[in-house]
Amino acid sequence: MKGKIIGTALTVVALGLIVMTLMNNKAKSDAKAQQSELSTTLPVTVQAVGYTQLQEDLTLVGTVLANNDVTVISETSGRIKSVNVKIGDNVSAGTVLVAVDDELRQAGLLSAQANYDKSKAEFDRIEALVKENAVTAAQMDGVRLGLKSAEAQLITARRQAKDTRVTSPISGQVTARPVDLGAQLNVGSPVATIVDISKLKVKVNVAEAEVFKMKNGDKVNITTEVYPNTIFEGRVSSISAKGDEAHTYPVEIALANSKTTPLRAGMFARATFVSVKRDKFLAIPREALVGSVKDAHVYVVENGSTARLRTVSVGAEADGKLAIVQGLKDGESIVVNGQNNLKDGASVAVVK
């Protein structure tokens, strides 16, 4: 009995020694690991924090419009006796597009001209008699009214004769011509559509929060999918004073059409407004940020060898840089490369 008790006691003592030995070894191992971790020096690249002026670029998709897009309407009626243009032709202002049979208008013009000449001669004769007191003032008034009536009829006849030749009011290219030779033309009938794309407009809708940052004459960079490597320079030409139901305001950008990389009306284009600038801010590269913009942190290198994780408040973002509202000072060094392996208090070696 006494032997069993002694054996049990020895067993308990042995187990206790084993447990103590294991715990001691674990403590030494943890301490060694921690010491090893703290003694590890990690290479990093740093950059000094400084003030800069962030440029806020706003890019919107718009539609390219022609400088002028005119549908020419007939102001006369009659049979078309000649058609002088076809779709795709370039015309100058004043070019005759179609001509209508003008025989009756020319006859009316001759009659109006003859009536005017007769009235003018009668007026000159009566005016000479008035100086000799040979006619009354009432007679002179009647002749004067007759001359004015004849003059009005002559002006009307001239206009009617002129309207038989339908001309282009602008220079441009014919994009539509819905009439043909011999067809009957009526007053108000469309004759042709002329588009002037020597100059272009890009129309975009700008949100109310952004439109007040713009003004006429601001520079705008225009890019298209057709010419992805070409930047067209435009200028804001008009800003609407009235918004639509979506609270956006139509803004038009004027630009010259290039001969080497010509644009066409109806194309999509991206307009980048580059003239709106913010004040100067402390700024850091976007890649220096640890975490999200809402929960932003950066590693600040202290004494040239220790990385400290610091919380920062981020403002605007532009050109790959973040404006720092709070958390950093001008001149402090932040880690811009190598921060993924860091922990707060880690030893670092700055790589030049």
Q: What is the CATH number of the domain that holds 213?
A: 2.40.30.170
Q: In what order do the strands lie in the sheet with 78-83?
A: 165-167, 96-100, 78-83, 184-185
Q: Clarify whether residues 223 and 331 are in a common domain.
A: no
C-alpha 168/C-alpha 146 separation (Å) is 36
Contacts of 104 (CB under 8 A, 6+ apart): none
C-alpha 195/C-alpha 66 separation (Å) is 6
Note down the domain range covering 201: 59-65+197-277
pLDDT higher than 90, residue 21: no
In a domain, 307, yes or no: yes
In a domain, 147, yes or no: yes
C-alpha 41/C-alpha 179 separation (Å) is 84
User: Which tens digits make up the pLDDT trace of 170-179?
Assistant: 999 999 999 9
Residue 258 and residue 223 in contact, taking contact as beta carbons nearer than 8 Å: no
Which has the higher per-residue pLDDT, 32 or 155? 155
The strand pair at 190-207 and 248-256 is best described as antiparallel
Mean per-residue pLDDT, 126-149: 86
Q: Clarify whether residues 269 and 284 are in a common domain.
A: no
Q: Which of 102-111, 127-136, 201-210, 237-246 has the highest mean pLDDT?
A: 102-111
In a domain, 269, yes or no: yes
Give the pair of three-digit tokens for residue 31: 């301490």
Residue 47 and residue 157 in contact, taking contact as beta carbons nearer than 8 Å: no
- CB atoms < 10 A from the CB of 68, how many? 16
pLDDT confidence band for 7 (50 / 70 / 90): low
pLDDT higher than 70, residue 167: yes
Q: Clarify whether residues 332 and 230 are in a common domain.
A: no
AA letter at 132: E
- CB atoms < 10 A from the CB of 203, how many? 16
Q: Clarify whether residues 233 and 343 are in a common domain.
A: no
pLDDT higher than 60, residue 19: no
Q: Which of 148, 170, 190 is the last residue of a domain?
A: 190
C-alpha 113/C-alpha 184 separation (Å) is 28
Mean per-residue pLDDT, 108-125: 95
Residue 154 and residue 112 in contact, taking contact as beta carbons nearer than 8 Å: yes
pLDDT of residue 146: 94
pLDDT higher than 90, residue 203: yes
pLDDT confidence band for 130 (50 / 70 / 90): confident
Mean per-residue pLDDT, 32-36: 49
Residue 44 and residue 350 in contact, taking contact as beta carbons nearer than 8 Å: yes
pLDDT of residue 282: 86
Kindly provide the b/e burial profile for residues 216-241, where b requires at least 16 CB atoms within 10 angstroms of the residue's own CB.
eebebbbbbeeeeeeebebebbebee
Q: Clarify whether residues 204 and 273 are in a common domain.
A: yes
Q: Which of 79, 74, 82 is nearest to 98 (CA)?
A: 82
Q: Which of 332, 335, 329 is nearest to 350 (CA)?
A: 335
pLDDT higher than 90, residue 322: no
The CATH number covering residue 101 comes to: 1.10.287.470
pLDDT higher than 70, residue 56: no
pLDDT higher than 50, residue 304: yes
Q: Which of 227, 257, 277 is the last residue of a domain?
A: 277
Q: Which of 221, 216, 174, 187 is nearest to 66 (CA)?
A: 174
State percent of the chain over pLDDT 90: 59
Q: Clarify whether residues 201 and 269 are in a common domain.
A: yes
pLDDT of residue 8: 58
AA letter at 205: N
pLDDT confidence band for 38 (50 / 70 / 90): very low
pLDDT higher than 50, residue 30: yes
The strand pair at 190-207 and 58-73 is best described as antiparallel
Q: Clarify whether residues 206 and 233 are in a common domain.
A: yes
Q: Which of 61, 66, 53 is nearest to 220 (CA)?
A: 61
Asked which of 10-19, 49-58, 69-78, 249-258 is least confident by mean pLDDT, the reply is: 10-19
Q: How many domains does the chain have?
A: 3
Q: What is the dihedral of CA 62, 63, 66, 69, to 10 degrees?
A: -120
Give 143's DSSP letter.
Answer: H
What sign does the CA torsion over 173, 176, 179, 181 have? positive
In a domain, 31, yes or no: no
Q: Clarify whether residues 181 and 241 are in a common domain.
A: no
Q: Which of 256, 277, 298 is the last residue of a domain?
A: 277
pLDDT of residue 22: 61
pLDDT confidence band for 220 (50 / 70 / 90): very high
Mean per-residue pLDDT, 14-23: 61
pLDDT of residue 293: 79
Mean per-residue pLDDT, 296-320: 87
The CATH number covering residue 290 comes to: 2.40.420.20
Q: Clarify whether residues 182 and 77 are in a common domain.
A: yes
Q: Clarify whether residues 100 and 114 are in a common domain.
A: yes
In a domain, 84, yes or no: yes
Q: Clarify whether residues 265 and 330 are in a common domain.
A: no
Which has the higher per-residue pLDDT, 292 or 72? 72
pLDDT higher than 90, residue 169: yes
pLDDT of residue 212: 86
Mean per-residue pLDDT, 243-247: 83
In a domain, 232, yes or no: yes
Mean per-residue pLDDT, 241-254: 90
The strand pair at 58-73 and 268-273 is best described as antiparallel
Could you give the 3-state DSSP secondary structure of residue 115?
Answer: helix
In a domain, 233, yes or no: yes
Q: Clarify whether residues 86 and 175 are in a common domain.
A: yes
